[in-house]
Chains A and B, each alone.
Chain A
Amino acid sequence: MVPVARRMLFTDRRRALLGVAGVAVALVMALTLDGIFAGTTRQVSRYIDTSPADIFVSQEGVRTIHMAISVVPVAVIDQIRELTGVTWTEPILFSGDALEVPAGRRPTYVIGYQPDGRGGPQTLIEGSEPGTGQIVIDDSAADALDIAIGDEVEVMGLSWRVSGLTTGMTSIINTTVYVTFEDLALVLGSSNSASYILIGTEGDPETVANNIEAVIPGVETQTRPRFSAEERTVVKDMSTDLLNIMSLAALLVGLAVIGLVLYATVLSRLRDIGVMKALGLGGLGVFRLVLTQAMWTVVTALALALAATFGIGAVVAALAPDIDLVVEPASLLRTGVGAVLVGALGVIFPLIRVWRVDPATVFRRTS
């Protein structure tokens, strides 16, 4: 078959380029929003994802770190250690606050851990682990707030001296700082309790987790992947409505652009369409013609948008390391399906216009 739809669409290259670019911009908006959101949720669960623990134990009913308060008696650690499959245990304390210096402030997770233990920063890029009154902060937050090792910072109303820098623990939402377990216990006034207990296992973590819950009352156990997924879900749930509204707005812009592009293409080719109808193109053929043009616009725009989003991701990574832009397959699929639906909707008005073209117009003179 002669690719008449594609030819008609792309013969006027400038118009086609503008149209495809317009739709691509709308799709870039949707993909970028999704990408930043996906990147942020990944960053939010980074402490969990990079932890060597196979199981996280929390207070019964608490399934996340974000937006949660968990209190687990330290006494249960000894009981857990006795169980089959448990190789190591380590308590951590957690609180949420802000990291403050004269140059500014940034919301932060505060982790209290035992230095030389497994609950602290996994990548210490400079300096040393915290001692009493000391704190380890993330290099990205340090850059943003102009903090260096040895500087004083304020967290939870107290002054701390920066002993080291970690990396990869700052997102556009917050950062993560580390102090000693004892210091944070003093600040929180918690004695003989932890927020979470990290557990290393041998064998199947799921089996060990179930065993802990069966033996020790009042605790919740989750494997690392499940705990991480719960953490991301709670962040997503908090932002889903906003994200949906913004994605919908982007797709509506795309719809308007596709509709306008196709309408303009159709208007510029009404005589050709009249000729095709006169020659014998039926209603189904006309529908296929306009729909194919819409799909070409959408598919080309989607490819362009994907390339542009990866480009934006690279630029953002270089200019703003706190922002992680991740294009997930699910996001691509969602945006693609949305774009196809938008393309299908976009043909309605052009189709109505084309439907009304009288094939007898071929007998009218063009000049």
Chain B
Amino acid sequence: MSTTALAARQLDKTFGEGSTQVHAVRGVDLEVQAGEVVLIMGPSGSGKTTLLSMLGAMLRPTSGEIVVDGNDLAAIPESRLPKLRATTFGFVFQDFNLLGALTAQENVEFALNLTDVSGKEARGRAQDLLTKLGLGERLSFRPDQLSGGEKQRVAIARALANQPPVILADEPTANLDSKIGHDIARLLRTIATEENRAVVMVSHDSRLKEVADRILWLEDGAFRNLQNMETDPVCGMSVDPQEAPHLQAEGDTVVYFCSTACREEYATAESPGRHAFPGMPSTDQHGEP
């Protein structure tokens, strides 16, 4: 029987006031079960990072609630949030965000120290985790001595150190090549399945679709129904036909785009005297700022 690891209800986040007010996230409902991998996709500026920050107790929602382990994050005093982050969430970042002054083992130990696990026990657990992730020979290496894939595995070991119920991953494969990206995606899948942890990933990388149990599309701060989405022929992103820029192609076909830039690129490539559009470019064009 599955249990809910993370639940967000009617989550709203507004920045600024008056004419400069921005609704970054609006009315988001989300439930993630233990052992489930949820992939949240969406165009740049759609609110993915804001949502992830709120889910990870780093940003307070304007309204709504986030319940993890029976705790409503929005109601917990600020002073208790750091400890809660240390015990409840494991974070995996696009830039790895390892502490450059520490070795691989110390990076994992540091996370354990935050939950008052120290000394021999912390060292032992860090070594076990890193060895399990294939980094047994890299324990004393500093991040600048590790490859991208190795860094991300250290980051995953750090995320798992305190056995949190929820792993939040922000573009976990964006800085990795194809093969390593696949390895990391599969690793996150394995962690969810074998260790019964909820994994929430935010990404543009369609490779992660393979390992996700559910894919959610976030656009303009709200989830859209992915089944009603169209695919941008330029960048390959899913877009909502109700709001996306579009143009009439040959015949009755209507083509939808994630942005006017993609639409113009498509129109230029399709115009007479020009080469045909060469194909789908990499998703890097839509990396977030």
- Contact surface of A with B, Cβ cutoff 8 Å: 1-2, 4, 7-8, 11, 269, 271-272, 275-283, 285, 358-360, 362-363, 365-367
Contacts and interface: CB of A to CB of B under 8 A. Distances in A.
A4 B99 contact: yes
Contacts of B114: 279-281, 285
Contacts of A277: 82
B101 A366 contact: no
B85 A278 contact: yes
Nearest to A11: B101
B211 interface: no
Given A2-B110, A280-B114, A365-B289, A11 B58 contact: no
B221 interface: no
A162 to B, nearest CB: 67
B217 interface: no
Contacts of B95: 365-367
Given A360-B59, A363-B49, A363-B170, 19 more contacts: A1-B113, A7-B102, A8-B99, A11-B100, A271-B97, A272-B101, A276-B110, A277-B82, A278-B58, A278-B91, A279-B85, A280-B82, A280-B83, A281-B82, A282-B82, A282-B83, A285-B82, A360-B53, A365-B287
A365 B94 contact: yes
Interface of B: 49, 52-53, 56, 58-59, 79, 82-87, 91, 93-95, 97, 99-102, 106, 109-111, 113-115, 118-119, 122, 158, 170, 287-289
A278 B79 contact: no
B235 to A, nearest CB: 19
A133 B167 CA distance: 98
Contacts of B91: 278-279, 362
A363 B202 CA distance: 11
A359 B84 CA distance: 14
11 contacts: A1-B119, A2-B122, A4-B106, A7-B102, A269-B101, A276-B110, A278-B91, A279-B86, A279-B110, A365-B288, A366-B95
A367 B284 CA distance: 13
A118 to B, nearest CB: 67
Dominant SS among interface residues on chain A: helix
A7 B119 CA distance: 17
B17 to A, nearest CB: 19
A201 B158 CA distance: 78
Nearest to A12: B101
A365 B289 CA distance: 7
A8 B100 CA distance: 8
A365 B101 CA distance: 20
A272 B99 contact: yes
A180 to B, nearest CB: 73
Given A2-B113, A278-B58, A362 B101 contact: no
A7 B101 contact: yes
A362 B102 contact: no
A210 to B, nearest CB: 63
A113 to B, nearest CB: 68
Given A2-B109, A275-B97, A363-B49, A282 B56 contact: no
Contacts of B102: 2, 4, 7
A362 to B, nearest CB: 5
A279 B111 contact: yes
